[in-house]
Each structure stands twice: as C-alpha cells, then as structure tokens.
Structure 1
Amino acid sequence: MIDLDPAPRPQSLTLTFFGIHVLGRDVALSSGCVIEIFERVGVTEEAVRSTLTRMVNRGLLDRHRQGRRMYFGLTPRAVAVLRDGHDRVWSTGAVNRHWRGQWTLVGFSLPEAWRRQRHDLRSRLTWGGFGPLQNGLWVAPGEADVAALLGDLGLDAHLRVFRGTVLEPTEVAQVVETAFDTGAIAAGYRAFLERWSGPADRPDDPLRRQLLLHTDWLELVRRDPHLPAEHLPADWPAIPAEELFRAIAREVAAAAGREAARLMETVPTG
C-alpha cells in the first residue's frame, strides 16, 4: 500500500473524484456512495459527512434531496476550481518550456490590522504561482491573470500590478532563487517518484490507486510556480515525475472508471 506523507485531506480526495468522474456531467452523488468510495482510501464515514458539509458551506457543493436520500453536486465555483486543476495537470504541465521572459508583479500595502486579508492575499498569490521577491512585492513567471486570481478579495485599491522583464543588474536566477524555494519544490517531486516508482507497493484497487495518484500529483503541481525550465537544473525532477504520473494515470483509467461507474448512485441536476 502506498503511504502518502502527509495523507491527503478528505476534501482533496473528494475534489479529485468529482473532477475525474463527475465534472462535465449534470449529476449529483448520493452521500452513501461517496462514503463507500472513500472507505477504500481510509476515510471514515464521519470524516466524509463532515467534509461534505464543509464543502457545502464553502460553496463547493450543492445539496439535492431525493426522498430520504441526500445527494451532492458541483457548484459553479467548484467547476471552475476543477477545470483549473485539469488544465494544470493535462495542458499546462509541470515543466515550463515556453517562457518568453515575462514576469507578472503584484505590489501591495495593507493596513497592519488586516491580518486575515493579508493571509488570504498571500494564500491566493501562492496558489497563482507567485513568490515573494521582497516585502510587499510578489512575482510570477509569465502572464498571470491577476484580475481573475484576486478580483473577489476586494483589495483592488491596495494592489499595484505590473508586467515586464528582468533588466541588469538583476538576473533571472536571482529572482528565482529569492522568490521561490526550488529546493522544496524539487524535494516534492523526488518524494513523488519514490512513492510511485515501486510496483510492489502499488495498491491493487484501481480506483483507490487513481484517487491517491491524482490527489498526490495535483497537490504538487498546485504548489509549483511553473518556473522557466531554462533557469532550472538539467536534472529537474518534475520531468520524470510527470512522465511517471501520466503513465500510471493511463494504466488505471479504464478499470478505475468501470469501478467508479459501478459504485456511483446519481440523480440529474440539469
């Protein structure tokens, strides 16, 4: 059995399952089948019910009652999150080979008392691939859509957004080294390779294996700022890690899909 360290959160596993097997379909899943599905990855019934309630409260799931049964479907917000994750995994990829020298910069100054707003802003910037270059100035490689990333935080008056290139005496390597912890990013990919390379340790259940694999990989790529490959070491571990992920994902897709279809109890939402 593969041991993920740390173990994936139930919400991450739930988003993974909905992203693979529900996204693009106008259906909701019964709480009972969700409980049965996640039992195979070690999530208790209590944890599943608690997670579903929290996801409803966070605007990620809608409840649909049919008689005495409760069903859960994706909200527009969840659909946007899952499509972003799908794009990061299958379109953007883990390696930035097409960088054109552009950086997006976000400067901000918030009142000292706005601790929650500052935390939310920094969390959102990190999610969007930004790193702190210096106090109050964050950068991301490429042309980041800051309006889409930060627009709902209500902080526009406190933000200054720019796009440009690095000029002497600054070097791109300095920006990468200062704003991003490349050592930690690389360590994450190496740990993924170690966890998933040994065939003797792989779960036999294809659906379980799919859920753990995709959740593990998505957590990695969402923490990866997609730094330009030309400014990273030649042996950057994201390259073999992505090849391994895609190979295993293809290997388990058909059998996991059949098992998911067997277990899913749905009602239409459209």
Structure 2
Amino acid sequence: MQPQTLMLMLFGTYALDQGVSLGAGSVIEVLGRAGVSTHATRSTLSRMVGRDLLERHPVGRKMYFGLTERSTTILRDGRARIWQDGAVNDRWDGTWTLLSFSLPESMQRERHDLRSRLAWAGFGPVQGGLWIAPGDVPAQQIVAELGLAAHARVFRQARADDTTDIAALIADAYDLTEVAARYQDFLDRWDRPDTGDIKRDPLASRLSLVAEWLDAIRRDPRLPVEHLPADWPAVRAQKVFRDLEAAAREPARAIADDLLDTLSSSG
C-alpha cells in the first residue's frame, strides 16, 4: 500500500473523533514497522499537509499532526463503508436509483467527470446515458456538485418489472470480473493458514489489512448478493477480514498506546 493510505488508516484508527494529534516521531516509528522509510513518511506528512489532509501543531521542538475537516470526512466515509455498509449487500429492498443524462459533444470533459463520479458511487451504465445503482444513492448531489443538474434527471425507488432478468441486467451494467478480482486479490494475500504476520506485529498488520480491505470495497457498487454468482468472493473475503481484524484489534491497540505520542486538541 502507498504510505498515504497507511497514514490515513493510522489516523483513522487512533486520532479520528478522539480529539488528538499524533507526534511525527511516533508516526515515523509506526509506519516503519509497516515497511515505510523515515524519508517516505516525512515526505508523506508534508504532502498531506499540502493537500489539506493534515494540519501541523508545533509544540516546542516537537511537531504534531492532526486531521482536517476534509480528511475527517474521508475517514468517516471509509469507516461507514467498512463497518456499516460492508461488502455483502444482503438487505437490498429491490429498488434502484436511475440517472439519465445527455451532454453535448463540447462537454466531453464534463461527461468523463460525471461517469467517473457515478462509477465511484456504485452506478453502472445500462445503455447510452442511462445509469443505475442499487438502493438509494444521492445522485442529485453528484450532478449538482459538477454543475450538471440541468443536463440530468434522477429517479429514486425505481423497480424493475417482474419479466426483467436482474442478474443479466447487472452483468451488462457492471464489470463483475473486475470487482471479483479485487476480492480475490485480497483473499490471495490474507486467506492463509499461517497468520504469523499478525502475531509478530499486530499493529503493522492491522494497518495493512484495513487499508487493503478498504481499497477493495470502496470501488464495489454493493450489488444485491442474491443476483450475483453463487461463489461471489466478497462473502468469503469479508469473513476473512472481520476474523483477522478482530484478532489483531486489541493487540494492535496495546502497541499503539505504548508507541504513539499524542497531543490533546484541548491543549
């Protein structure tokens, strides 16, 4: 994983909503356990400040780093995807969000941006300018943020006719092979009899585990599991993740409590 991703996992676990900033020296030590060099960690801290993901808090000769409003929003979203939404959509209510758009040829860049945002939000193209996503997705917010509200129409709580083959619809609108491959990559990395890495260093292993899991699920449209192949790898991958995370959580916390130098936001 990239140093920034591991950094976000560190702050998301031990600083988010806890009213603390983390000392640079202790961040360097923790990421060093995950294989990130001191130079790379220092460079990443500086870049994240420049990207409004972290803010500096100097105290004497020490430097502490805290989360910004932007990074807090990102990390809360990631936390919700991991612990609230999950990777297996087994509670689908049968409804879809539909978005229809039509942009002139002169707006190719806007079309690309819209398609990227829609894919990130779980939409897939049915045909032409018609995209669908399972459940209730804030599509109107997406088009509004891109300044394209006048070019799009949003329909919520839509239902397919009984004659519609939902599994075929999903297969046409989404690249299931690509989505499944991300979960299979996760399983290839973590679904092994030997959990020695977690036992040797629970803190570093947990950071990598959560970072890799979030990378897999955040680009998953969370399609209804009843309409996916019977051997859909997200089911197994989610169990592996949760079992390993539960095993590493408290040992990792104990190490972090010992290593991390924290500064309370109240002074």
The TM-score, its normalising length taken from structure 2, stands at 0.89
Candidates 29, 50, 53, aligned match of 1:60: 53
> Structure 1 residues 249 and 173, CA, compared in 2 at 3 Å: closer, same or farther?
same
Q: 1:69 aligned to 2:62?
A: yes
Shift, 1:206, TM fit: 0.6
Check 1:70–1:126 CA distance in 2 against 1; reply closer, same or farther (3 A cut): farther
SS in structure 1 of the partner of residue 218 of structure 2: helix
Whole-angstrom CA distance in 1 between matches of 2:8 and 2:168? 36
Deviation at 1:124, TM superposition (A): 2.5
What is the aligned partner in structure 1 of residue 207 from structure 2?
A: 211
Distance 1:182 1:211, change over 3 A: same
Code of the aligned partner of 2:249? A
1:142 aligns with 2:146: no
Q: Distance in 2 between matches of 1:33 and 1:101?
A: 48
Structure 1 residue 148: Cα displacement: 4.7
Tell me by how many angstroms 1:68 deviates: 3.2
Counterpart selection for 1:13 from 2, 6, 29: 6
Unaligned runs of 5+ in 2: none
Q: Does the residue aligned with 2:169 lie in a helix, a strand or coil?
A: helix
- Going from structure 1 to structure 2, the CA distance change for 1:255 and 1:191 (only over 3 Å counts) comes to same
Q: Does the CA-based 8 Å contact 1:16-1:215 persist in structure 2?
A: yes
Q: Does 1:227 align with 2:223?
A: yes
Is 1:245 matched with 2:241? yes
Sequence identity percentage:
49
Mean CA deviation greater in 45-54 or 188-197 = 45-54
SS of the residue 1:24 aligns to: coil
Superposition pairs for residues 72-87 of structure 1, below 5 Å? 72-87=65-80
* Selected match of 1:186 from 180, 185, 189: 180
One-letter amino acid of the structure 1 residue matched with residue 208 of structure 2: L
Two-structure CA RMSD over aligned residues (Å): 2.2
Q: Say if 1:18 and 1:176 are closer, same or farther in 2 by CA, change over 3 A.
A: same
| Residues 24 and 64, structure 2, Cα contact 8 Å, conserved in 1 | yes
Q: Which TM-score applies when normalising by structure 1?
A: 0.88
The C-alpha deviation readout for 1:203-223, integer Å capped at 9, x for no partner, is 121111101110111111111
> How has the CA–CA distance of structure 1 residues 154 and 36 changed in structure 2, closer, same or farther, with 3 Å as cutoff?
farther
**Do the aligned partners of residues 71 and 162 (structure 1) sit closer, same or farther apart at CA in structure 2, a change above 3 Å counting?**
same
**Letter in structure 1 aligned against 2:220:** D
Deviation at 1:110, TM superposition (A): 4.1
Distance between the aligned counterparts of 2:139 and 2:104, measured in 1?
21
**Aligned CA distance change for structure 1 residues 42 and 233 (closer, same or farther; 3 Å):** same
Instruction: Measure the CA separation in 2 of the matches of 1:248 and 1:145.
Output: 33
- Which 10-residue stretch deviates more, 254-263 or 147-156? 147-156
Q: For residue 75 of structure 1, report the CA deviation from its aligned partner.
A: 1.6
Residue type at the aligned position of 2:194: A
> What is the CA-CA distance between 1:117 and the residue it aligns to?
4.0
The change in CA–CA distance for 1:126 and 1:61 in structure 2 (over 3 A counts) is: farther
Q: Which moved more, 1:231-240 or 1:111-120?
A: 111-120
What per-residue deviation string (whole Å, max 9, x for no partner) do you get for residues 152-189 of structure 1? 33333333222212237643223211221112222222
Spell out the pairing of 1:148-187 with structure 2 (5 A cutoff): 148-149=141-142, 151-163=144-156, 164-167=158-161, 170-187=164-181
Change (3 A) 1:254 1:235: same
Relative to structure 1, is the Cα distance of residues 201 and 57 closer, same or farther in structure 2, using a 3 angstrom cutoff? same
**2:189 maps to what in 1?**
195
Q: Which runs of 5+ in 1 are unaligned?
A: 1-7
The farther-off stretch of 84-93 and 209-218 is 84-93
C-alpha separation in 1, matches of 2:30 and 2:52: 22
Counterparts of 2:14 and 2:238 in 1: how far apart (Å)? 21
